Amino acid sequence: MSYSLGIDAGGTYTDAVLLKDDDNTIIQSNKALTSYPDPLEGITKAIDGLDPECLRDVKVVSVSTTLSTNSILEGTGSPVALILIGNYDIKQELPTKHFIKVKGGHDHNGIETDTLEEEAIREFALSVKDKVSAFAISSYFSVRNHEHELRAKDIIMEHTGLPVVCSYELSQDLGAFERAVTAFLNAQLIPVTERFMTTVEAEIKSRGIDAKVFMLKCDGSVIGIQSALKKPIESIFSGPAGSLVGASFLANEETCAVIDVGGTSTDISVIYKGVPEMSDAGAVVGGWKTRVKAIKMETSAMGGDSHVWVKGANINIGPRRVIPLCRAAVLYPDFLEQLRANPMPSKLKIGVNYQPTKFYLRTDYEALEASQEEQEVLEAVKKEPTSTTEIFNRIKKFPASKVFDSLIQKRLLQPIGFTLTDALHVLGEYTERNVEAANVGADMLGSLVGMNRHEFAQHIKKEFSKNMACDLVSFFFDGVEKSEIRKMFDIQSPAKFKIEVPIVLIGGPVSAFVKEMQEILDARIILPEYSSVGNAAGALAAKGIRRFEVLIRPASMAAPDWEFLVFSEHGKNNFYEYQEALDYAVNLGETTVLSYMKEAGLDPSHIKIDIKKEEVIPVGWKTPMETKLVVLGVGNRDDSLEYC
């Protein structure tokens, strides 16, 4: 008997499931709190709750995580320097203050347009190497010729030794700025992903489990661990992708919409006839448009651990994630008394960082660029919960709110506060942690807006339900302002939005929202068994997928039959015959797909390859003006089990 192990490390919980391979059924699951910033403890505890006899016969381990997505949403990724090569017209703020624009780049045929400014790159790299953890490079038309990106990479590695990410390695789509953002985010995620996957591998080996390790990608497919470490950007939204595939699997519905409520975010996606709906554009995360191909998804920074805070008469939810009060009281035995004794901030001071329920923890991250004021706060905050009043008593002043924001974004501080999870504890609908801490927090915040604890908690739950419904409807009404849709849910009316496809709820606390969603929407709401571990189930239900794109164009429009250029992620090649160029492109695509599948641990003989060809042939032309090939390989992970 052989088994597969699925692991999902979310922002709040780490889930593990065991699947019996012969009949593809889940036989056991377990949840543990995600440990921060090192995920090892959470992973260990999640696996500890599974049958050790079955674990010895695990042949495949498949992993999903929202850590990459959360790092971008919360702005807590590692510091990265960005190098833009070529004629960039920067019309929006870049995601880093460490950047430089230098001469160089190529044209649409891959011909150099300017000499690369190597000395400027060298000087820049030396000036920022102690301030960043990685570099990202994007050159104009690098998808046609990536020589300048490779030369810049060599210079940086020679003088800094830090990781370097080139945009051509991640996308073959045009859009220089979007490729630059993609490369930047990928570089930002390298330390997070390396730490996570190294932890998973070490834990698996320490248990004597001899298994292949896969990681879920954001298109709902799986990838071998070594490939995942090269392109961690492809794991953004792997959590939502896992929930989509997992929800379909658990609910036994090939077509359905999925609402996945995690600790940090709520994600909406749809699967049709077993195939995830893909986004036409690149994934958008944290407001940044990338060139990463992902499932189509509506995501909001609103989850079970979203910070609930009060300012004036307004009750706000999110966007920042905090440790719930009910959890903090379990982790730190003295916290409940600290919470009870914490004084109410003055009305002039009260805000997102100054709440009677807000506390801070010092993390193990090293402060690379902390200002003097930030350093003062860090020295005042201990590894136990510390209130703003305690910080004031130690440094004799209240730090500016932006100082807390900066320290949280740098992952140097972790906040504690009231959350949706606390509200559900108050209502008695989800009581796995300390209920009394949740009650105290609801009393404090409720008093600021004239509500008792139950009224306050019920208000939070109702608002959260409306926001979920709004996100779902907004997904289907693409192009309609979400703010306009949201207004409709505050109107008392007999009219309802009707959703034709089943809606599957996935996530730890979703059982508390079935009734509310049925009241708000006209739809079939499904809460499947194992709904709380849907992402981990999705990691096991996913397939291996590899897309490879090739573009063939004449070298000159004046002589379109004379010479042909073939562009791919492997570079540029020249051919004098169109058929020769086409044959080369097809063979290159098939070879690349099969090599990828083999590297990913899937047996190449069980891979199905489809080739889609699109041609543009003007009237009177003998050969196409443009040929685009998409070589798609699909392999069922289960097919490879006998080869493990």
Q: What is the pLDDT of residues 210-246, one digit of tens each?
A: 888 877 776 666 666 666 666 555 555 566 677 788 8
22: confidence class by pLDDT, cuts 50, 70, 90: confident
User: Which letter does DSSP use for residue 342 in this model?
Assistant: P
641: confidence class by pLDDT, cuts 50, 70, 90: very low
Q: Whole-angstrom Cα distance, residue 302 to residue 515?
A: 20
Does residue 5 contact residue 18 with C-beta atoms inside 8 Å?
yes
pLDDT, average across residues 111-121: 90
Q: Is the pLDDT of residue 307 over 80?
A: yes
Specify the range with the lowest mean pLDDT, choosing from 364-368, 416-420, 453-457.
364-368
pLDDT, average across residues 454-464: 95
627: confidence class by pLDDT, cuts 50, 70, 90: very high
Helices (H) and strands (E) in the chain, counts: 20, 31
**Token pair for residue 318?**
């999110």
pLDDT in tens, 308-340: 999 988 999 988 889 999 999 999 999 999 999
Determine how many CB atoms are found less than 10 A away from the CB of residue 358: 25
pLDDT score for 511: 86
639: confidence class by pLDDT, cuts 50, 70, 90: very low
- Beta-bridge mates of residue 632: 547, 610
Q: Is the pLDDT of residue 527 over 60?
A: yes
Q: Is the pLDDT of residue 65 over 70?
A: yes
Does residue 11 contact residue 305 with C-beta atoms inside 8 Å?
yes
140: confidence class by pLDDT, cuts 50, 70, 90: confident
Q: Is the pLDDT of residue 644 over 50?
A: no
pLDDT, average across residues 604-609: 74
Does residue 441 contact residue 478 with C-beta atoms inside 8 Å?
no
Better pLDDT: 448 or 599: 448
pLDDT score for 291: 56
| Average pLDDT over the chain, rounded to an integer | 83
Q: Whole-angstrom Cα distance, residue 197 to residue 200?
A: 5
Q: Whole-angstrom Cα distance, residue 557 to residue 559?
A: 5
pLDDT, average across residues 277-300: 65
pLDDT in tens, 357-401: 999 999 887 776 778 888 888 888 888 899 998 999 899 888 888
pLDDT score for 46: 92
pLDDT score for 272: 83
144: confidence class by pLDDT, cuts 50, 70, 90: confident
Gap between the terminal Cα atoms of the chain:
13
Q: Is the pLDDT of residue 455 over 90?
A: yes
Q: Whole-angstrom Cα distance, residue 189 to residue 187?
A: 5
Q: Whole-angstrom Cα distance, residue 409 to residue 547?
A: 34
- Beta-bridge mates of residue 13: 33
**Token pair for residue 401?**
């709110």
Q: Whole-angstrom Cα distance, residue 427 to residue 353?
A: 26
* Residue 227, CA distances (Å) to 295, 334, 407, 636 in order: 20, 45, 32, 18
Q: Is the pLDDT of residue 345 over 90?
A: no
Does residue 136 contact residue 81 with C-beta atoms inside 8 Å?
yes
Of 94, 140, 101, which Cα lies nearest the Cα of 121? Answer: 101
Amino acid at 456: F
Element (H, E) at 546: strand 543-554
pLDDT score for 228: 61
Determine how many CB atoms are found less than 10 A away from the CB of residue 198: 13
pLDDT, average across residues 29-58: 86
pLDDT in tens, 178-192: 778 777 777 777 777
Query: Topology of domain 543-643, per CATH?
Result: Alpha-Beta Plaits (3.30.70)
Does residue 395 contact residue 381 with C-beta atoms inside 8 Å?
no
pLDDT score for 495: 84
Q: Whole-angstrom Cα distance, residue 49 to residue 43?
A: 10
∠ CA 469-472-477, rounded to 5° = 120
pLDDT score for 231: 59
SS3 assignment, position 65 = strand
Q: Is the pLDDT of residue 302 over 50?
A: yes
Amino acid at 87: N
- % of the chain beyond a pLDDT of 90: 26
Of 176, 180, 178, 98, which Cα lies nearest the Cα of 133? Answer: 98
Element (H, E) at 33: strand 25-33
Q: Is the pLDDT of residue 94 over 60?
A: yes
